[in-house]
Every structure is written in structure tokens, then in C-alpha cells.
Amino acid sequence: MGVFVFLPLVLPLSAWPVARLAAQHLHPRAATRLLTALAAVMALCSTLCLALLMVVGTAQLPGNPLPDGWSDPEVRAALPFDEIAGTAAIPVLAVVCGALAHTVWRHVTVRRRGRRALAGLPGKSVAVVPDAGEAYAYALPGRWRGPRRGGRRARGGGGRVVVSRALLDRLQPAERRALFAHEWAHLAARHHRFLLVTQLAARANPFLLPLRTATAYTAERWADEEAAGVVRDRRVVARAIGKAALAPWRTPAPVLAGLAAAGPVPRRVAALLGPAPAARTRPPLFTAVGLALWGAACGTAVSAMSSANAAVTMVLVLRAATPL
């Protein structure tokens, strides 16, 4: 195992260049999927690394509940600085597990409270909140079904669009259409799952925070482009976003994506005022984004291989050291 067991803890740094470059140069759909996959794999490897450090490093401590064979010198020799690393990994892993549990609990709680708050409002797919003071709109995943398109249900259309009366009053009819198309795009693509995965990844390893921020932006851009395709006017979507951002609004919960959500609104508007992004998913290698993507891919591969190698080695060593 050696020092390679520590690599998954720091290799998420290799994904930093791709966080911004992918958001700028890739299609938002491809960027969202790519960043989420990178964050998920690196977070899993990082958490596995902490677990291995804790098991190996604490096996020789008095009073531990592990089998006596696990404290064999051969086991400890597989990890450099075994006692220090193992002791430090205990509180770190405990904090990570607590943060992951809290994030999942908050995600479930926000969705449950949202459904309860909207239970009395009419409309199964759209809920208009009679709030004249604050402008907001977001997509609430749930058991409601989305609108039909061409006689069929929108793919992944389960959910409900929530919009305040204050925001609707600020928008023209075409801008309202863009608003609803944006929110239905969030539900159809299940963007809440991408947001949840990247939030969990950032809780597991703080080095993945840039990926979480970038994914939140690309998910909004993805919905912007889908809305532009529905209304067939990119400027209408840009105006709707600008009006929503200038209105007095409150931020939806982090697990809920929406048109009026906090974020780099000027970048979104500027992107909509320019040409539509190319659908090409793989940029040329000898470009900034191409090199960044390959660097992040290599870092992810090395992280996964290091974690797998450490796990397999640890299992074999512990099996040899533990009497049957």
C-alpha cells in the first residue's frame, strides 16, 4: 500500500482546472454529467481511504474492538505513520459521516416540507404561491407528473413547479413560458440528483467544493438552454433570468434548482445572448479544456486505482494475519 493510500485524499485537486473550463467550453449537459461523475468517484475513493487509514492505524491501540491479528507488525507495516494517520483518521471520518448524514437528512426534509406546504394549493403540476412580496421559482421533485409534450409525458417529469405571484407579475407572457420551460427542464433531467451527489462529494472531501459550485452553475445553464429551445428565443430567456435576479427574492433550498436561484446570473445571461453551445461532448486534446479534462480523468483514474489497490492489499494482509 505505502504512501499511495494517501493519494485519494489530495487527488481531487487535479479536478480544479476542469471545474471552470468545462462550464465555459462544454455543453452544459455534458459538463453537468462529467463534473458529477468526477466528484462521485473521487469522493468515494477519499472516504474509502479514510476508512482504511482508521482500520490499519488503530489496530494496535489498546482497547480497540478489532481482532488481535490485525495489530500484527505486518499489518502496520503496510501503512506509513500508521499510528498517527489512523488516530487522525478517526475524528475526520466521523465528521465526514456526520456531514453526509446531515446532507441527506436535509435533502429529504426540504422535499417533505415542500410537499406539505403546497398540499393545499390547486394544480398538480404547477403551484402558484400567493406571495406578492418575494419573487422566486423552483422545481420541487415529487410524485406529481409533468406536462405532456407531443402526446407523451416528459421524460422524468415527476415533480411540481413552484412560482410566486410576485415573479409572475414581473414577467411578460413569453417570459413566463421561458420560466416554466426552465423549471420543467430541471425536473425532466432530474437535476436535483446531480446537485445532491456533488453536495455529498463536497462534504466527503472539501477539495471537491469547486466541482459542486460548477455543477450548480452548469445545471442552471442546462435548463436555460432547454428553455431557449422551447421558446425559440434566447433573448426571452435571458430577460426572464435578469428580471428574476433583479426582483426581491429569497434563495430556494440548496437541493432545489430554479430560475431565480442564486448564482452567476451575468454569466448565464451573457451565455444566452451568445450563440448556442455546440453539442460536441469531447473537445480537442491539445486545448486548455481538453488538457484539463484529460488531467482530471487521469487524476480520477489514479485515485480509483490507488483506493482499489489499497483495499485489496489490506484485505489480503488482514486475511493472512487473522486466524481462521
DSSP assignment of 223-260 = HHHHHHHHHT-HHHHHHHHHHHHHS---PPPTT---TT
Q: DSSP state, 282?
A: S
210 vs 262: CA distance, rounded Å: 16
> Cβ contacts of residue 20 below 8 Å, gap of 6+?
210, 214
Q: Please state the domain count of the chain.
A: 1
Rounded-to-integer distance, Cα 165 and Cα 98, Å: 38
DSSP bridge partners of 116:
none
Query: Which residues are CB-neighbours of 176 under 8 A, at least 6 positions away?
Result: 168, 240
Domain residue limits at 309: 2-321
Exposed, middle or buried, 105 (CB in 10 Å: 0-12/13-18/19+)?
exposed
What is the three-class DSSP state of 153? strand
Apex CA 25: angle with CA 23 and CA 27, to 5°?
75
The backbone region for 242, taken as left when phi is positive above 0, alpha when psi lies in -120 to 50, beta otherwise, is: alpha
pLDDT at 298: 74
pLDDT value, residue 76: 61
Ordered per-residue pLDDT tens for the chain, 324 residues: 556 677 778 878 877 777 877 777 788 998 899 899 888 988 888 888 888 777 776 666 555 555 555 555 665 666 666 677 777 888 888 999 999 999 999 888 888 888 887 777 777 788 888 877 777 888 888 764 444 444 444 444 468 888 888 888 889 999 999 999 999 999 999 998 999 999 999 999 999 999 999 999 999 999 999 999 999 999 999 999 888 877 765 555 554 555 545 468 888 888 898 888 876 656 666 666 667 667 666 766 766 676 666 666 656 655 655 554
Query: Helices 28-57 and 209-231 meet at what angle, rounded to 10?
Result: 160
